[in-house]
Amino acid sequence: MRIFRDDKADLKQIRAESILILGYGSQGRAFGLNLRDTGLNPTICLKSNSRSKKTAIEDNFDIITPSQIDSRYSLIIFLIPDHIHGDFFERYLAGRIRDDATLVFAHAYSIHFGLIKPSPKADIILVAPHGPGIDLRQKYLDKGGLSCFIAEYQNNSGKAIKRALALAKAIGATKAGVFLTTFEHEAIGDIFGEQVLLCGGLSELVRKAYTIMVKNGIPPENAYLETAHQIDLLAGLIKRYGIHGMSERISKTALYGMSQTSDKIIDTAAEKRFERIFKQIKAGKFARQWQDEYKNDLKNLKEFSKSLKSDRLEKTSKRMRSLLKGKRQK
């Protein structure tokens, strides 16, 4: 995989662009502030009733509403939720923006799975930071930068990757490293990683481990401290030293236990399920289901969120967080 740093990126590639950022949430604010501190002048597009409007005004940005989008803007950065890109594009962008505008995405989902069908004359690029906006902003301020992916999907100008690199530089990412990928790999990799490990897998492992302990008589506080409370420590060791490095830093009892249980927990049946999930994501089945759920007013998703909120672990975790901060229990 190719990696680019500061010396390969030239801000000249985007200096003359008229930049519009759609959304002012986690990434929108970080992109906006970093671009401005780099000397560019983005405008922010927000709904008139947007919750972030006050912050964008306090941050002193020029703000327009979606119905004011027109052909003035030559570089448009999509930092609104991925599942609404299709609707937003149809309603506010199609036929109103320049055919040859550069469209920038921070996740390849909506382009790769065909939610948006922009003009074939547009440049379509990816600049996807490896972390939330708060880190993107903080690392820019600390002069370290947060790494990111870049990719091109359409390159009519012949400058798509140069523009992506310039934008990556403007948000500070070239300081940390910019990795060249494809829309397909980023879209599938991001979604698979979230589902199998980072979000779906990890939370369910924590929840089930906690529940079994409590069911078998271990006090909830004790069960919490042996599960949710310590995952960041182990994840941190894996990130810093690798799995082998982590294994050298835990107790021998923990290591022996790990050797006995790892492939019993994630066994070949689980591996087959991972494969099936991967295939469904790749075939676009997950994206179709997700868009159907969106059209269905997110009814199942709201139920799921409710069930997470009422989970027993949630109550213990809230109590323990405040106990550990030294606050009195209510």
Binding site for ligand NAP (CB under 6 A): 23-28, 47, 50-52, 79-82, 84, 88, 106-107, 128-129, 132-133
Q: Looking at the DSSP assignment, which residues form a beta bridge with residue 150? A: 127, 180
SS3 assignment, position 107: coil
Closer by beta carbon to ligand NAP, 26 or else 147: 26
Closest CB to Mg ion belongs to which residue? 190
CB of 144 to Mg ion, least distance (A): 22
End-to-end CA distance of the chain: 52
Q: Which of Mg ion, ligand NAP, none has residue 24 at its interface (CB below 5 to 8 Å by kind)?
A: ligand NAP
Closer by beta carbon to Mg ion, 144 or else 193: 193
Q: Residues interacting with Mg ion, by CB under 5 A?
A: 190
Closer by beta carbon to Mg ion, 66 or else 81: 81
> Dihedrals φ, ψ of 132, to 5°?
-70, 165
Give the orientation angle of helix 285-295 with respect to helix 268-282, to 10 degrees. 70
Which H/E stretch holds residue 249?
A: helix 231-249
- The answer to whether 139 touches 145, Cβ cutoff 8 Å, is yes
CB of 18 to ligand NAP, least distance (A): 20
Characterize the bridge pairing of strands 3-4 and 178-180: antiparallel
Catalytic residues: 107
Closer by beta carbon to ligand NAP, 48 or else 253: 48
CB of 190 to Mg ion, least distance (A): 4
Which H/E stretch holds residue 153?
A: strand 148-154
Q: Which of Mg ion, ligand NAP, none has residue 80 at its interface (CB below 5 to 8 Å by kind)?
A: ligand NAP
Q: Which of ligand NAP, Mg ion, none has residue 47 at its interface (CB below 5 to 8 Å by kind)?
A: ligand NAP
Token pair in block for residue 126: 């990816």
Report which residue type is found at 330. K
Characterize the bridge pairing of strands 75-78 and 63-64: unpaired
Closer by beta carbon to Mg ion, 57 or else 235: 235
The Cα 270–Cα 300 span in angstroms is 25
The Cα 124–Cα 118 span in angstroms is 9
Burial 304-321 (b: 16+ CB within 10 A, else e): eeeeeeeeebeebbebbe
Q: Which of ligand NAP, Mg ion, none has residue 81 at its interface (CB below 5 to 8 Å by kind)?
A: ligand NAP
Q: Which of Mg ion, ligand NAP, none has residue 82 at its interface (CB below 5 to 8 Å by kind)?
A: ligand NAP
